[in-house]
Homo-oligomer: A and B are copies of this chain.
């Protein structure tokens, strides 16, 4: 007996979860597009908060390293303490939030060494997962890869339009996750997803546009083509280069901003 939009008769009246002044208004347009599926796993306030907080951190709206004041966060997200704490606790696993007893939560700081670890772990883990996917992935997975590539190529990335940036980020993330989704290893996929999140935070914070000497579309296409052709070495080498180049670019931008 679950269909359509949930009743959600909580204490907040109609204007539930509206956000603070000017910022943090998230994912309110997207879910209107698919109204009958809007309740997959985001029924509770705590779960909604996990998504909203994650997005706020990855997008850079919540500054890296900054302390998360519970009272203020409570107000700007218009929620009460219990779901907020629970959501933050879950975000620790993502590496996006840190916690210390009696000192509360803070947004994980960024650093050069952290970025370098993320990059090298992505190189290792994502190519491993890609290889496994090519080994055991089925035809449906291949189709998903091609579809994800197509969507990515169609999505334009115009820095002047924030909504296209959001959209590009979503399909880009989806592309990388689809590539490795054939491997049938939930724990590995979960870890790769976490690393991708962390990486995206750096990209969205420090990289407004790609470096001139890259054609990222071609890189994506080569990876995808090699993948569906099951050319393991070729696909993995392209993917590794792709990850490595982004890491190098990011490292330069961090250095420019004086981040150690």
A41–B125 Cα distance when bound, in Å, is 31
- Answer whether residue A85 sits at the interface, using C-beta atoms and an 8 A cutoff: yes
Q: Which residue of B lies closest to A195 (CB)?
A: B187
Q: Which residues of B contact A185 (CB under 8 A)?
A: 117, 120-121
> A residues 118-150 with Cβ under 8 Å of B?
118, 120-121, 124-125, 128
Question: Chain A interface secondary structure, helix, strand, loop or mixed?
Answer: helix
Contacting pair A188 B101 (CB below 8 A): no
Chain A interface residue count, CB cutoff 8 Å, equals: 34
Q: Which residue of chain B lies nearest to A94 when distances are taken between CB atoms in the complex?
A: B93
Judged by a CB distance under 8 angstroms, whether A89 is at the interface is yes
Residues of B with C-beta under 8 A to A114: 187
Q: Which of B82, B100, B187 contacts A95 (CB 8 A)?
A: B187
User: Inside 8 A of A158's CB, which chain B residues have their CB?
Assistant: none
State whether the Cβ of A13 lies closer than 8 Å to any Cβ in chain B.
no
> 7 extra interchain contacts, Cβ-Cβ under 8 A, other than A82-B85, A89-B89, A120-B185?
A42-B101, A43-B102, A93-B93, A121-B187, A187-B195, A187-B198, A191-B191
22 A-B residue pairs with Cβ-Cβ distance under 8 Å, sorted by A, are A41-B100, A41-B101, A42-B101, A43-B102, A44-B102, A46-B89, A47-B101, A82-B82, A86-B86, A87-B89, A90-B90, A90-B93, A92-B93, A93-B93, A93-B94, A95-B187, A117-B185, A117-B186, A118-B187, A120-B185, A121-B185, A191-B191
A101 and B43: CB pair below 8 A? Answer: yes
Measured CB to CB, the nearest residue on chain B to A43 is: B101
8 smallest beta-carbon distances between A and B, as pairs: A93-B93, A89-B89, A43-B101, A89-B90, A86-B89, A44-B101, A117-B185, A117-B187
A198's nearest neighbour on chain B, judged by CB, is B187
Question: What residues of chain B lie closer than 8 Å to A118, measured between beta carbons?
Answer: 187
